[in-house]
Each structure stands twice: as C-alpha cells, then as structure tokens.
Structure 1
C-alpha cells in the first residue's frame, strides 16, 4: 500500500509520447509544478492535456507548452498565457474549449465510470450547435471545428449530451497526503485537483506534507487513496515555492 515514489522523476518515468493527462490547478493555485517540471525533464511529447487552463508563460503547464510538447488542450480558459493564444491562433495547437462547470463534471463523471450526462450548460451556443474552432490552419481559416452535440428535452428544459473524460495519467497537488494516497486539499488550491485525480488511470499526487496512514481522520480526507497510485513528497522548499499571478500592493 505504500505509494510513495523515490522522487518526481520516478513518478512520471512511464508517461510516453502521445499520453493524455488530466492536470489540477487553477491559474497558479494548486498546480503540480514539481511533477510537471519532472515531466519536462523526462521528455515526453505530443501530449493531450485536460486542465482548466494551461498555466502561464514560464510556469505550470506553460513550461511544456513553450517547448511544443503539448499537441491538444481541453480546457476552459486561455488566461494570461500569450504563448497558448499564439499557438492556438497559428494552428500549432488543437484546443477544445469547454464551460468550466461542464469540464469539472466531465472529469468527475469519467472517474466515477459514468460515460455521459446531460446538462443545460451551452445550449443555444456553439458549444451545443458546433462550429467552435478546435484548430486553425496556417491561413487563419478554421481547419477543424467542434461537432454538433446530441440534445434532449427534460420537461421544458433542453440539455446537451456531454461525455465523461478519462486520461492515461493525472497530475495533481495536495496539501497533505499519506502513504496510502489519501489526500487533503487546502482552500482554493482544491479547485480542479479532485476531479482531475479521479479521471486519471494512473494518478500522481505531489503533497506538501506527507503523513503516515491513520494520521488523517476519515472525515478530513477529500480524495480517498483508491484514486491515487503514486505519491511524491515535496521538500520544504518545493512546498513553499508558490508564485502570485498578479502581485498588487498598497502604496
């Protein structure tokens, strides 16, 4: 049951070219930077990433993106990442934009074995009607667009069919975790980490504080260890290295 890896490199050693990844984090909060950096060093490319956003320039998934190691992104927000926008508009990157709540539920559904579900989110827009640009051509024209989605009416409410998401691997960050893989997330750093962890067939969790089995009361656990296969214990310096997306101070 001891799921602790020797280091981050050992935890991501078998992520191959073309693998799909669900990655936790929102902006710069709760991002598994240590295992992302280890994956960068490992060299896998052609990755398909499912994450709310793709980091920022020079941080988080932005490190892999700048190295052209990501081929496709399923996410909700381009955010502050200029390189993300540039690659997308230049036709170098395929991007499936999904409503944020729908993305969270697609990950959770996939982790629970639910193949698909209906939701009213996106009805009346290109999310349901199709035509969202997934990939642009070199000339700026749309080379690949999203398809029309199945719809069904429940009572007087029209809903669109969305499919659950599962991935080869998941990379997440937790505040505390034990050797069995039980995880606790702290405040806003929870964000997409729990559903991302559920969606991965092999989930790697970097934890700021590693504790022994039994130290976490059952009621404290946000994500049970059944969803986690590998744990990476961060050093004190790694755990404390948290950046601020936009620093604002009083004069």
Structure 2
C-alpha cells in the first residue's frame, strides 16, 4: 500500500473512531449529568435500567431511534429537517484539527491521533463552531411555533454577542505563542507549569471559560431553551432522532471545547 493510500485509510479510521467515541460519550454525558443533578436535588437519578442505571443511555438511544418523528403542519420542512444535522455536523468537524494524544507507534507504524494537522487549527475550530449557530436559529425559525421563534432569536443574540468575547480572549495567548496551530500551542507549554498560558493570561482564561459556557448553552446561560419560560425553546417541536441530534451536537461541542481549553 502506498503512503498516500495508507494516509487515506488512517484518516478515515480516525474519523470513524472520533464519531463513535464522542457519540457514545455524549450519551454517557447525559447519564452523568442526570445523576449529578439528582444528587444536587436529593434524588436518585437514573437507577432502574441496568446496574446503577448505566443502561439508561442504551434505553434512551433505542427510544430516540424508534420514537415517532413528528413534523408540524406549519413548519418549513426542508429547513426543519436540516437544522439538527447542522448541530451535529459542525460539532464533529470542529474536532478535526484537535490533537487528542501524542504520536505513538503500533506494529511499527506511527499513529498521529489528529484528523487534520493544519497550521490554523484554532481558527478552523472557531470558524466551524461559529456555524453551529445556524442549528438553533434555523430550527427555531422553521418550526412555526412562537416559543421556538423566541428560542431562535435568543440563540442569534447570545451566540453573536459572546463570539466576540471568545475571539478577543484568545488573542492574548495566541500573540504569546505566535502560531494558530494547536500542536504549536501545546508545544509552547512543554517547559513546565510556569509556561502554562493559564498563568500568563489568567484574565483571558476567565473570559474564555465564561464565553464557552454561554456558547455551549449550559446553565445559567441556557437562554436558548429556558424551560421555565420557553417550554424547550428552539427545540419545542422536535422529537425522536432529530431532537437527539441537537443534544449529541451539544455534548460533542462540550468535549471539543474542553480539549481546546486544556490545550490553550
């Protein structure tokens, strides 16, 4: 097999592994979140399906795949169908330039656990992640539901506002490193704890993590689907697998952001 063919096979395998692992982690993340929230609220959380409720993730997956897929009569159907795909696709594409592990050898072959080593890695992640705004926005606008419309409008306002903070907070560490490559950013900090960018730019770190919470739609910044006011916000009319794709995208974004945060 030529080097070119080997690189294609390796890249395809890396893509499949990332999709499978982070899709599974997204499901397991919902289990952990429900357990922790149950502990906060003096409840047990999932505990019936399997030991400690661990098989609840599998049960939820089966339910999402088999649940009736309802499209509202007044919805703009093509856009209504495409919106959940955008949420999942942008989240997974943003993982392409992230180095998950150092290089290692397997059966004499060097494995690089990164899908695409591009010299503008962080810019690519931010650009693709920014496209995720179209998922709640288009989902809310196309649903034919006033709560969804309000959720979509909040999405545009919230994401656009904090995208500015995200970009500006990254300028300071990037100016120190002098590169947009995530591998270069990681290598810059290899000298020890005193070289970590969090100690050199603590204010930028604080701003970035707050902006990340907002863009990930996590409490207390969950204005897109604030159940107390908007039922389920932009996702009010979604059910089954389409609803699940929104949340696979949300949790995949959380993992991608966690990797970016730890690298920078």
TM-score normalised per structure 1: 0.22
Greater Rg by CA: 2
TM-score normalised per structure 2: 0.21
Which has the bigger relative contact order, CA under 8 A and spacing at least 6? Answer: 2
